[in-house]
Amino acid sequence: MPDRRADSAPAPMAVPMVDVSLQNDPLRQEIAAALMAVIDSGQYILGPNVTAFEREAAAYLGVEEAVALASGTDALHLALLAADIGPGDEVITTPFSFIATANAIRYTGARPVFVDIDPATYNIGADAIAAAITPATRAVLPVHLYGQPAAMQEIAALCAHRGLLLIEDCAQSFGARRGGRMSGTFGLAGCFSFYPSKNLGGVGDGGLVATSSAAFAAHLRRLRNHGSERPGIHEETGFNSRLDELQAAVLRIKLRRVDAWNEARRSAAREYGRRLAGLPLSLPQEDPAGTHIYHQYTVLCADRDRVLAALAENGIAAAVHYRLPLHCQPVLAGCGAAAMPVAERVAAHCLCLPMYPGITAAQIERVAAVIRGVLSS
């Protein structure tokens, strides 16, 4: 009797969107030992691993200080608060990002002002930012989308010239450089996320602010700990936003591999580029002034939803980041944003393909073969 169930069973997910086990497996013993050491120590909050991780992350990034927090969203929110941004202020940012970028601005009472993105890099640039400056503008908050740094020398020069604070959303760009300098080190603050799928990912939530201002770092350390620097004394209304020792212990181990993992992502991107060449797709364009570390490998495709369906049928994961730009989100409808034609067009056509360190050439070929099949039929 033929096994009829075999015909109707769903195809296995041959290519996942992200595969963290490839990162974790070779580090299994090291991670297990570090986690047990924390558990045995009984010190779970603001202990030696957080202090060491902050020191190691600051050294890696090339800044004076790093303050570890509970999430990337908190990193943005607390950095804006510590920069004294609040009601009546405007913060210029991108409409093409995760909702957390805009939410962090709104938590402070300030208004996000969106400017359209560059069609090649999907990041905001200095000219668009300059055109949106008003007397209420206090800060600029660029995002290094998909792991490609925005034009930071130009943006930093504009901010210096116009007296604006510069706070970077580096949630997707840990280890990406521009002009030899790390993303997150061009202004007052660089805000990072260690959400598990990010380039440096924990085994839970986590975040960090990089800065070279000792006073700003001290303020962030108060804000993450209920406004308290000295035990029992609360100087201001703060939050509970601490990275915990278990996460810090894992992140310390992973930090030592992040350059190799980013290099593996770049190499996977080159493989995609070779296998998707010549198709009616826009492949990612690398700005030669920076290093794209491919948090996502994103193509633009006129037939996006047909490709997405074919990939799913073939057991291949893919994602759309982001289907709706921020200025079109219902929650932000009151922000009074103008039309952003580039962001709207990119949102309508973008498709993020499976990307993680360790994805094989055979898996990339599977993805490419399905896309070729759709686009040449």
Residue 314: CB minimum distance to ligand PLP, A: 27
Amino acid identity, position 346: V
Please give the C-alpha separations between residue 207 and each of 21, 53, 146, 353, in angstroms, as whole numbers.
21, 12, 17, 25
- Is the CB of residue 221 less than 8 Å from the CB of residue 66? no
| Cα angle value 205/262/354 (rounded, 5°) | 75
| Token digits of residue 33 | 């030992």
Query: Rg (Cα) of the chain, in Å, rounded?
Result: 21
- Is the CB of residue 123 less than 8 Å from the CB of residue 145? yes
Q: How far apart are CA 169 and CA 193, in angstroms?
A: 9
Q: How far apart are CA 349 and CA 278, in angstroms?
A: 18
For ligand PLP, the closer of residues 116 and 168 by Cβ is 168
For ligand PLP, the closer of residues 147 and 238 by Cβ is 147
Residue 194: CB minimum distance to ligand PLP, A: 7
Which residues lie near ligand PLP (CB under 6 A)? 71-73, 97-98, 100-101, 143, 169, 171-172, 193, 195, 205, 207
| Dihedral sign from CA coordinates of 286, 290, 291, 297 | negative
For ligand PLP, the closer of residues 101 and 298 by Cβ is 101
Residue 110: CB minimum distance to ligand PLP, A: 16
| Token digits of residue 99 | 């909702």
For ligand PLP, the closer of residues 186 and 195 by Cβ is 195
Instruction: For residue 291, give the nearest of 93, 133, 150 by alpha carbon.
Output: 150
For ligand PLP, the closer of residues 189 and 368 by Cβ is 189
Residue 201: CB minimum distance to ligand PLP, A: 10
Q: How far apart are CA 188 and CA 166, in angstroms?
A: 6
Residue 171: CB minimum distance to ligand PLP, A: 3
Residue 74: CB minimum distance to ligand PLP, A: 7
Residue 184: CB minimum distance to ligand PLP, A: 12
| Token digits of residue 179 | 């002009």
For ligand PLP, the closer of residues 89 and 169 by Cβ is 169
- Is the CB of residue 221 less than 8 Å from the CB of residue 86? no
CA 360 to chain centre: 23
Q: How far apart are CA 210 and CA 218, in angstroms?
A: 12
Give the contacts of 7 (CB within 8 A, at least 6 positions apart): none
For ligand PLP, the closer of residues 183 and 363 by Cβ is 183
Residue nearest to ligand PLP according to CB distances in the complex: 72
For ligand PLP, the closer of residues 353 and 371 by Cβ is 353
Taking phi over 0 as left and psi of -120 to 50 as alpha, with beta for the rest, 279 belongs to beta
Instruction: For residue 234, give the nearest of 246, 245, 223, 220 by alpha carbon.
Output: 223
Residue 197: CB minimum distance to ligand PLP, A: 8
Residue 237: CB minimum distance to ligand PLP, A: 21
For ligand PLP, the closer of residues 93 and 363 by Cβ is 93
- Is the CB of residue 94 less than 8 Å from the CB of residue 145? yes
Characterize the bridge pairing of strands 297-300 and 207-211: unpaired
Residue 100: CB minimum distance to ligand PLP, A: 4
For ligand PLP, the closer of residues 171 and 368 by Cβ is 171
